């Protein structure tokens, strides 16, 4: 199995309101766009109309933030129902969310909170991931999150936790290379060794992002800057390990012009060509929607 048996789409960009009209007018050479699922899935209006027009020309891959897969609250069936309706309409090859929790005790934390690396937690995620995939009838990728804290690694470390979740849940990994880099810096481990310890055959997509320290010098996973050289290097090394993939440039804040984002995607594509050869030819991937 490679890429969790999913197509390698090449470099993609996040679809943002600010770029809607330019995308429709200019039809930039983007292979695919990622959307934040909850920004669209239960709404009509302007954003939804723009999505409908853009997806007529481009492949759209949804990425959620509210699944709260690691929570001990029951799975939100209302959320899942709305999600399934939306996914059935969009028909993407996969969907994704984060390996964390965002709600507990029916209270929304509005943030991706890391989970304890315990057997109980891994089993909980795995069981819920299986149920979600069965219900959605579509592959689910879970993204490794930036974590400013370690809740617990008494029973296993982060790599072992991710491996256990993916194996028992039979789900895929959205490998956020920036998050690996940041966590390695925060918690003192080697990022490449960490990536090598993961089941890379289950990686269906990667994220690449940059950050600017905030006013107090605090480094946060802010998605507000170009991908820095050290993350590009880690991406190259990852490509060497796992081959071509679908790589999203995740620049959501302090949003630059679309042309600047395209430059980042060109860099990602160039690296894929350098490491993986003419992979796109064999995959026959174009920027047109299927």
Summarize as ranges the residues that interact with another protein (CB under 8 A): 38, 42-46, 48-49, 52, 66, 68, 70-72, 76, 79, 101-111, 113, 116, 118, 120-121, 124, 148-152, 154, 218, 220
In the complex with another protein, the residue whose CB is nearer, 68 or 265, is 68
In the complex with another protein, the residue whose CB is nearer, 130 or 187, is 187
Q: Least Å distance between CB 69 and another protein?
A: 12
Strands 140-143 and 203-208: unpaired
**Residue 83: closest CA among 99, 101, 96:** 96
Q: Least Å distance between CB 19 and another protein?
A: 17
Q: Least Å distance between CB 29 and another protein?
A: 26
In the complex with another protein, the residue whose CB is nearer, 52 or 190, is 52
In the complex with another protein, the residue whose CB is nearer, 3 or 124, is 124
In the complex with another protein, the residue whose CB is nearer, 85 or 286, is 85
In the complex with another protein, the residue whose CB is nearer, 253 or 259, is 253
In the complex with another protein, the residue whose CB is nearer, 68 or 163, is 68
Strands 107-113 and 101-104: antiparallel
Q: Least Å distance between CB 37 and another protein?
A: 11
Q: Angle, nearest 10°, between helix axes 77-90 and 119-136?
A: 50
Q: Least Å distance between CB 207 and another protein?
A: 18
Q: Least Å distance between CB 281 and another protein?
A: 37
Q: Least Å distance between CB 253 and another protein?
A: 10
In the complex with another protein, the residue whose CB is nearer, 154 or 260, is 154
Q: Can you give the three-state secondary structure of the chain, one letter per residue? A: CCHHHCCCCEEEEECCHHHHHHHHHHCCCCCEEEEEHHHCCCCCHHHHHHHHHHHCCCEEEEECCCCCCCCCCCCCHHHHHHHHHHHHHHCCCCEEEECCEEEECCEEEEEEECCCCCHHHHHHHHHHHHHHHHHHCCCEEEECCCCCCCCCCCCCCHHHHHHHHHHHHCCEEEEEHHHHHHHHHHHCCCHHHHHHCCCHHHEEEEEECCCCCCCCCCCCCCCCCCCCHHHHHHHHHHHHHHCCCEEEECCCCCCCCHHHHHHHHHHHHHHHHHHHCCHHHHHCCCCCCC
Q: Least Å distance between CB 152 and another protein?
A: 4
């Amino acid at each position: 199995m490679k890429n969790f048996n999913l197509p390698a789409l090449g470099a993609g960009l996040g679809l943002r309101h600010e770029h809607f009209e330019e995308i429709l007018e200019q039809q930039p050479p983007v292979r695919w766009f990622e959307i934040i699922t909850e920004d669209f899935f239960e709404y009509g209006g302007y954003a939804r109309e723009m999505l409908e027009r853009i997806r007529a020309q481009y492949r759209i891959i949804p990425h959620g933030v509210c699944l709260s897969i690691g929570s001990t609250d029951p799975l939100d069936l209302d959320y899942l129902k709305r999600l399934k309706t939306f996914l059935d309409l969009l028909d993407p090859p996969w969907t994704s969310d984060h390996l964390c929790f965002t709600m507990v005790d029916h209270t929304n934390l509005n943030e991706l909170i890391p989970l304890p690396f315990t057997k109980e937690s891994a089993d909980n995620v795995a069981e819920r991931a299986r149920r979600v995939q069965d219900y959605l009838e579509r592959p689910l990728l879970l993204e490794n999150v930036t974590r400013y804290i370690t809740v617990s690694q008494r029973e296993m470390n982060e790599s072992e936790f991710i491996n256990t979740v993916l194996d028992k849940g039979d789900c895929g990994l959205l490998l956020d290379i920036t998050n690996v880099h940041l966590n390695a810096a925060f918690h003192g481990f080697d990022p490449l060794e960490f990536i090598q310890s993961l089941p890379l055959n289950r990686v269906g997509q990667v994220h690449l992002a940059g950050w600017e320290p905030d006013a107090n010098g605090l480094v946060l996973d802010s998605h507000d800057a170009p991908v820095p050289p050290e993350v590009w290097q880690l991406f190259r090394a990852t490509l060497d390990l796992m081959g071509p993939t679908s790589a999203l440039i995740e620049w959501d804040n302090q949003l630059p012009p679309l042309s600047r984002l395209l430059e980042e995607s060109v860099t990602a594509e160039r690296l894929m060509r350098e490491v993986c050869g003419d992979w796109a030819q064999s995959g026959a991937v174009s920027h047109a929607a299927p």
